[in-house]
Amino acid sequence: MSKHCGDHAVVIGAGIGGLAAASALAGYFNHVTVLERDELGYEPAVRPGVPQSRHLHGLLTGGLSALGELFPDFNRYLSEAGAVPSRIASEIRMEIPGYDPFPQRDFGWTGYTMSRPLLEHVMRQRLRKQTNVMLLDRCRVVELVAADGSVTEVRCGVVDSPVRSLRADLVVDASGQGSLTPALLKTMRLPKPEQTDIGIDMGYASATFEVSEAPSDWKVTVTFPEKPSLGKTGYLFRIEGDRWMVLVGERHAPPPPDSFDGFLELTRQLRTSTIYDTLKNARPVGKVHRFSFPESSWRHYEQLAAFPRGLIPIGDAICRFNPIHGQGMSVALQQACVLKDLLGRAGDSDPLEGLAPAYFAAVTPLIAGPWSMSAVPDFANPLTRGTPPQDMDNSMRFEAGLIRLAAQDPMVHELMLSVRYLIKPASALHDPDLARRIQMELADA
């Protein structure tokens, strides 16, 4: 143990954020218990508690880097489990209006594509190697208990067993939408955090195929609509088992079809025919799965003057991103790295004192960057509910100019992807020289 911060830490939820948090805590607590209401097997499997786990998920480069910090040599374990490596951006076909495809340049980064169940499976495997971490499945958390301003217990019950209390020095709420933390604040008569919502009514469908004539020059393709947020977006990833997973999503549109014929017709309606041409003679695997996502939401815990000691929310418990942008998993992983870093730098006398405020201060910019990047295209649709960014028009012009410049200049292309893939903060695009070049590009358009 690198530093002793307490005897027992409890993580609620064994999703991506919860598993990452458990790894972050393992070096600082004698015991870490992960509570999960679903059954956790020893093979990749869809969990009922994660209905979107049947859908395509994106792991951005910044998220993959965070996994490497939390689980040493994680890339190797992903590869051994069957995740598909792809060079960024030489093996990724981005279809953007005016660029079909966008230049496929090799920036020396390797990403991985896989199903969500495989990613969780590899993370669980690595956690089970930690002798002080216990995964307790089929366990429902009833409530959090606090005394004198600090969380002290988690009341929970394993299936067919009475509810019991687990003492905890630190609790991480990774329970998805995170109703446990707001409920505790209400019990403690603390203010409810302000919340920012963006009503997008995103509907999407995913399906898996076996492709007999797979493309040789890309492993990932993304097709964007003619105008941001107006029309269908399509993703096609090669995943483990020599299969291909495809997702088609659209804001403020009727529910997508659940038949394979209807789904193929959906891919045919994309702006280009690349995805449809790849799948039209492919063999379907399983079923077509649909999901609806009414709104993105961000709970502003960072604005609260008081917050329970010994409690940290993570992932969707703080912020739910529009899944079409593929940011949620990676931001949650980066939040776990923040938690690990703060524990490593905590004081010796009371290592948990001030942890929550420091955590919120550190994760807020991690959320703000991708939130802003997704808000602009989301609000490009006039049906989107909420308050659009004040500089909406300028942001859209800047994005259009950035894309034009990145198509011509490999260095700008790499910088743009560094921000979008969460390697660098959004502020990296605020360079005055870059802004000047973008203005010149727009003037010449």
Q: Which helix (H) or strand (E) holds 153?
A: strand 150-158
Q: What DSSP designation does 137 have?
A: -
Q: Is 16 left (phi over 0), alpha (psi -120 to 50) or beta?
A: alpha
The domain limits of the chain are 6-50+59-76+117-196+297-375, 83-115+199-295, 390-444
Contact 288, 259 (CB under 8 A): yes
Tell me the per-residue pLDDT of 21-68, one tens digit each, with 9 for 90 and over: 999 999 999 999 999 999 999 999 999 888 889 999 999 999 999 999
195-210 and 243-251 beta bridge pairing: antiparallel
CA–CA distance, 221 with 91 (Å, rounded to integer): 9
Query: Domain 83-115+199-295 belongs to what architecture?
Result: 2-Layer Sandwich (3.30)
Q: Which helix (H) or strand (E) holds 440?
A: helix 432-444
Kindly report the pTM of this predicted structure. 0.96
Banded model confidence at residue 1, pLDDT cuts 50, 70, 90: low
Mean pLDDT of the chain: 94
DSSP symbols for 99-118: BSSPP----SEEEEE--HHH
* Average of per-residue pLDDT across 289-309: 96
Closest among 293, 83, 363, 321 to 74, alpha carbons compared = 83
CA–CA distance, 58 with 83 (Å, rounded to integer): 12
Contact 310, 150 (CB under 8 A): yes
Query: Domain 6-50+59-76+117-196+297-375 belongs to what architecture?
Result: 3-Layer(bba) Sandwich (3.50)
Banded model confidence at residue 176, pLDDT cuts 50, 70, 90: confident
**CA-based R_g, the chain, Å:** 22
User: Which of 229-233, 317-321, 402-406 has the lowest average pLDDT?
Assistant: 229-233
Contact 212, 258 (CB under 8 A): no
Tell me the per-residue pLDDT of 348-371, one tens digit each, with 9 for 90 and over: 788 999 999 999 999 999 999 999
